[in-house]
Structure 1
Amino acid sequence: MTLLAVHLALTAAYAGFQWTVRALVYPQFALVPPADFPAYERRHQQRITWVVGPLFAGQGVTTLWLLADRPGGTPLPPVLLGAACLAVVLAVTAMGAVPLHRRLEEAWDDAAHRRLLRVDSVRGVVATAGTGAALWALLG
């Protein structure tokens, strides 16, 4: 039960973080003067890593643990769904958000910013689904 509660807390924290970034942080990128944006973006990347890194690591640990040694009575489908959600978030981050941040680190680009907002919406939706899966696993 403790593992399931920790997993739920991590997935919920990440989903809340992701929606905060999507609704508050990324829209404010457009307010930074273009000449200042590359330096701003580099600082953003450095600072955000301290928040998202532990959330990704924690979810990775609890997800692998649940896959390897699921607590008795915990249904398998929500564990698999949660693992799939985390995999999608990580893939969308690696293949979508990271390259867009690298592009924005070079210079402000309206099109890249719009794509980043779309990519981030996907991450928010999938992270929320992962939280739902974690709650389902806990309530099993």
Structure 2
Amino acid sequence: MTLAVVHLALTAAYAGFQWTVRGLVYPQFAQVPRTAFAGYERAHQRRVSRVVGPLFAGQGVTTLWLLLARPDGVPLLPVLAGAGCLAVVLGVTGLLAVPLHRRLDAGFDDDAFRALLRVDTVRVLAATAGTLAAGWLVLG
């Protein structure tokens, strides 16, 4: 059960982080002066990686552990649901969000920014669903 609680803590921390990014950080991008945006974006990428990297790594470890050595009494369905949610988050991040951030490296781009907000909404929803699945593990 300790593994499930650690997994829940990691998924909840990531979901909280993602909600903060979507609700606070990204909306502020549009307020940064255009002449300063490229530097702001590069600094954002460096700083956010320091937070999100350990959260992704921790969730990856606990998810794999739950998939490969699921403790007795831990139901399989929420483990699979959580793994699917993490796969969505990682896939959307690597395939969509990171390239959009690279486009923004050159300066603020309205189309890239709007696309980033849409992509990030998917991450928020998947992260929230992953936390619900992790809560199911602990409570179920």
Query: Fold conserved (TM > 0.5)?
Result: yes
Q: Which position in structure 2 is the counterpart of 1:129? A: 129
How many residues align structurally? Answer: 140
TM-score between both structures, scaled by the size of structure 1: 0.99
Q: Which position in structure 2 is the counterpart of 1:7? A: 7
Q: Which position in structure 2 is the counterpart of 1:115? A: 115
Q: Which position in structure 1 is the counterpart of 2:94? A: 94
* Separation in structure 2 between the aligned mates of residue 33 and residue 114 of structure 1, nearest angstrom: 17
Structural RMSD (CA): 0.5
Q: Which position in structure 1 is the counterpart of 2:83? A: 83
Overall identity of the aligned pairs, in %: 71
Q: Which position in structure 2 is the counterpart of 1:19? A: 19
1:61 maps to a residue whose letter is V
Q: Which runs of 4+ in 1 moved over 4 A?
A: none
Q: Which position in structure 1 is the counterpart of 2:46? A: 46
1:122 offset after TM fit, Å? Answer: 0.6
Once the two structures are superposed, what CA deviation does each residue of 1:45-100 show, in whole Å capped at 9, x if it has no partner? 00011100000000000000000111101110000000000000000001110000
1:133 maps to a residue whose letter is A
Structure 1 residue matching 2:105: 3-state secondary structure: helix
Point out where structure 1 has 5 or more consecutive residues left out of the alignment: none
1:137 offset after TM fit, Å? Answer: 1.1
Point out where structure 2 has 5 or more consecutive residues left out of the alignment: none
1:139 offset after TM fit, Å? Answer: 1.5
